[in-house]
Amino acid sequence: MKKNKNILIEIIALLAILIVGIVIFFYKLDKIPSGFYIDEALPGYNAYALLLTGKDEFGKNFPMFLRFYGSYNPPLFTYLVIPWVASLGLNIFAVRAPSALAGLLSGLVVYFFLKNSHFLKRKLSVFLGAIFFVITPWIILHSRVGYEVSLAFLLFCLGCLFLWQALTKPNRLILATIFLSFSTYAAYAERFLVPMVVVGFALVFRKVLFRKSNLKILKISLLIFFVSQIPHLLLLTTPAFFPKANLWGFESSTGIWDKFGIIRESLSRYLVYFSPRSLFFLPDPDPQRSIPDLSVFYPWMLVPYLLGIYTFWKRRNEDFSKFVILLLALTPIPAAFTRDPFATHRALPVLLPAIVVIVAGIDLVIKRLKFRIWFPLFALTFGWSLILLWRSYFVILPVERARLWGYGVSELAEEIKQRPEENFLIDESRTKATYINLAFFLKYPPEKFQEETGAGIKDNYYSSLDFNSHYQFANIETRGITWGEDIYKPQILVGDELVISAQQAKEHSLEEVFEIKDPMGRVVFRGYRTNPR
- For the bound state, the minimum distance from the C-beta of residue 443 to another protein, rounded and expressed in Å, comes to 32
Site for another protein in 389-418 (CB under 8 A): 391, 395-396, 399-400
Least Cβ distance, residue 280 to another protein (angstroms): 7
CB-wise, 176 or 333, nearer to another protein?
A: 333
Binding characters for another protein, 513-532, by CB under 8 A (x = yes): -------x------------
CA–CA separation, 84 and 131 (whole Å): 27
CB 531 within 8 A of CB 509: yes
In what helix (H) or strand (E) does residue 66 lie, and over which residues does it extend?
Answer: none
Cα torsion 38, 43, 44, 49: sign: positive
The contacts of residue 440 (CB under 8 Å, 6+ apart) are 36, 41, 44, 45, 48, 90
Peptide bond into 33 cis (omega under 30): yes
Q: Which residue, 71, 24, 21, 13, is CA-closest to 46?
A: 71
Residue 517 — φ and ψ, nearest 5°? Answer: -115, 155
| Strand 476-478 relative to strand 424-426, pairing | parallel
Which C-beta is closer to another protein: that of 274 or that of 382?
274
Taking a C-beta distance cutoff of 8 angstroms, is the pair 335, 189 a contact?
yes
Residue among 322 and 529 whose Cβ is closer to another protein: 322
| Site size toward another protein, by CB under 8 A | 32
Per CB under 8 A, which of residues 288..307 are in contact with another protein? 293, 299, 302
Residue 364 interacts with another protein (CB under 8 A)?
no
Q: Does 287 participate in binding another protein (rule CB under 8 A)? A: no
Q: How far is the CB of 385 from another protein (least distance, A)?
A: 14
Residue ranges in 338-357 that form contacts with another protein under rule CB under 8 A:
341-342
Residue 321 or 437 with smaller CB distance to another protein = 321
Q: Considering beta carbons, is residue 34 or 221 the nearer one to another protein?
A: 34
Let me know how long the chain is.
Answer: 533
Q: Cα–Cα distance between 37 and 289 in angstroms, integer?
A: 11
Please report how close the Cβ of residue 388 comes to another protein at its closest, in angstroms.
9
Shortest distance, position 334 Cβ to another protein, whole Å: 16
- Smallest distance from the beta carbon of 117 to another protein, in angstroms? 21
Q: Does 231 bind another protein (CB under 8 A)?
A: no
Residues 6+ apart with CB under 8 A from 34: 398, 399, 401, 402, 405, 407, 519
Grouping H, G, I as helix, E, B as strand and the rest as coil, residue 477 is strand
Nearer to another protein, 62 or 384 (CB): 384
Minimum gap (Å) between residue 357 Cβ and another protein: 13
User: Is 244 near another protein (CB under 8 A)?
Assistant: no
CA dist., res. 347 & res. 272, Å (int):
11
What single letter denotes the amino acid at residue 472? Q
Cα–chain center distance at 428: 25
**Residues between 54 and 73 that touch another protein (CB under 8 A):** none
Q: Kindly state the smallest distance separating residue 282's Cβ from another protein, in Å.
A: 7
Determine if 328 is a binding residue for another protein (CB under 8 A): no
What's the closest the beta carbon of residue 500 comes to another protein, in angstroms?
Answer: 26
CA atoms within 13 A on the CB side of 7: 4
Q: What are the distances in angstroms from CA 2 to CA 5, 54, 115?
A: 5, 54, 18
Q: Which three-class secondary structure state does DSSP give residue 509?
A: coil
The reply to whether 337 sits near another protein by the rule CB under 8 A is no
Position 367 contacts another protein (CB under 8 A): no
Least distance from another protein to the Cβ atom of residue 134, Å: 23
Residue with smaller CB distance to another protein, 273 or 441: 273
Backbone angles phi and psi of 56, in degrees to 5: -85, -170
CB 40 to another protein: min, Å: 23
Residues 104 and 131: beta-carbon distance below 8 Å? no
Quick note: the x/- pattern for another protein over 247-286, rule CB under 8 A, is ----------------xxx-xxx-xx-xxxxx-xxx--x-
Residue 314 interacts with another protein (CB under 8 A)?
A: yes
46 and 40 in contact (C-beta within 8 Å)?
A: no
Residues that bind another protein (CB under 8 A): 263-265, 267-269, 271-272, 274-278, 280-282, 285, 293, 299, 302, 309-310, 313-314, 341-342, 391, 395-396, 399-400, 520
